[in-house]
Amino acid sequence: MQAVPIMSLSVNRTSNRSTLSVVRAGCAGCGCLLVNAPGIAQPEFLTPTSPDGGVQTAGADSADPTEDFGDTLRGRKQNRTVEAPESAAVEEAVAPEEAGRLHFKISVDYVTAYFSRGFRYEDRGFIIQPAGELGFDLYENEGFSIGGFVGIWNSFHDRATDAEENDDITDKWYEADLYAGLGGSLGRVGYSVTYLSYTSPSDAWETIDEVVFDLEYDDSSWWGDSGFSLTPSLSFAWEVGSNYTDGADTERGLYLQPGVTPAFSVENVPVVEHVELSFPMTVGLSLDEYYEDDSGEDEVFGFFSVSAEASIPLRVPSAYGRWMLSGGVQFLILGDTTSSFNDGEETAVIGKVGVTIEF
């Protein structure tokens, strides 16, 4: 399961880079490239990774260069100047144009395997993960901002994973995550609170509900004009429903995911304007009963994820939104419980490529 696939936090209001993927630690966060990417990967006012640390990517501009995804409190203004007549020795500035308060983002990712927070859900066949999110600004002043968002993240598998049949589109619709929340910034700290409902249209599992709290710090000012940042982040998830990620007969779990996303931008790249590079690193930990094994024992360590992600802005007329092409590779080291969900394999490598469009 993934959690908040597209949404990501960003305290840096002038760059789409620092974003935190709230994704259920999968696509972009937990190890997923969501990211969407980093660096899901992630509404602009929050500008991710996917699932657990899946290649959902959170990092680059987010976090999903992709957590990316960046996300910053909208309020960007365009300044334009008008040349004054020769007789005047000054330029007349035109008032900045305010950005709209509603923002929409859509994305689609192809991944070679679907892992979320270390749990493997599918690693064969064609896997495509489209998502959409609507964001709206509520309030912003010096040093504080808040906005709301609602969205959906999906995973379609041509093998109809865990479905009873394989002859209907619903059987291939493995997952549909519905989410809503609030997020923004307080000084250089980005925050969000999200309610997630992980559902399976193909009835592969019972619906799982979570409340997720996310924090990330914009440290870009520490590095001067280098364009480099680490963007430390922390994600906390609390299972609030009657069904749980590690099995129907387990206990309600508490999950913690610290992370850091080294990132920088490479300018003057041939053909494209620039390339944003990020290297998200996250650790999935059980605070209480999140990674239970078959005997009911809780394993603290769930996974370690490190990714290499790149995002490239595409030259598309502004009337059609802002387009971003992203891709990356993620390496996972799994704990005892999560490796048991992966046929005993203790490592995994996941690839991802996707496109995000923001309006």
- Quick: pLDDT tens for 114-173: 999 999 999 999 999 999 999 999 999 989 999 999 999 999 999 888 887 777 888 999
CA 136 centroid distance within chain: 18
Q: Max CA-CA distance within the chain?
A: 85
Question: What does pTM read for this prediction?
Answer: 0.74
Q: Does residue 218 form part of some domain?
A: yes
Q: Does residue 291 form part of some domain?
A: yes
Q: Does residue 239 form part of some domain?
A: yes
- Tokens encoding 27: 């696509």
| Position 179 confidence tier, pLDDT thresholds 50, 70, 90 | very high
| Residue 44, pLDDT score | 40
Q: Does residue 215 form part of some domain?
A: yes
Lookup result for tokens 């490190």: 306
Q: How many domains does the chain fold into? A: 1
Pick the more confident residue, 190 or 225.
190
Q: Which of 223, 322, 296, 235 is nearest to 263 (CA)?
A: 223
**Nearest-angstrom CA–CA distance, 101 and 52:** 30
Mean pLDDT of 68-88: 37
- CATH number of the CATH domain containing 247: 2.40.160.40
Q: Does residue 90 form part of some domain?
A: no
Q: Which of 347, 277, 241 is nearest to 1 (CA)?
A: 241
Pick the more confident residue, 293 or 68.
293
DSSP state of 23: S
Mean pLDDT of 205-225: 94
| Residue 182, pLDDT score | 98
163 backbone dihedrals φ, ψ, rounded to 5°: -85, 155
Q: Does residue 342 form part of some domain?
A: yes
**Nearest-angstrom CA–CA distance, 56 and 111:** 9
- Tokens encoding 331: 């390496």
**CB neighbours of residue 83 within 10 Å:** 8
Provide the terminal-to-terminal Cα distance of the chain, rounded to the nearest Å: 27
**Nearest-angstrom CA–CA distance, 54 and 35:** 8
Any bridge partners for residue 301, and if so which? 285
Q: Does residue 233 form part of some domain?
A: yes
- Tokens encoding 250: 């387990």
| Position 245 confidence tier, pLDDT thresholds 50, 70, 90 | low
| Residue 49, pLDDT score | 40
Q: Does residue 1 form part of some domain?
A: no
Alpha-carbon dihedral angle through residues 59, 62, 63, 68, given to the nearest 10 degrees:
-100
DSSP state of 247: -
> Could you tell me the residue range of the domain that residue 135 belongs to?
8-75+96-358
69 backbone dihedrals φ, ψ, rounded to 5°: 145, 60
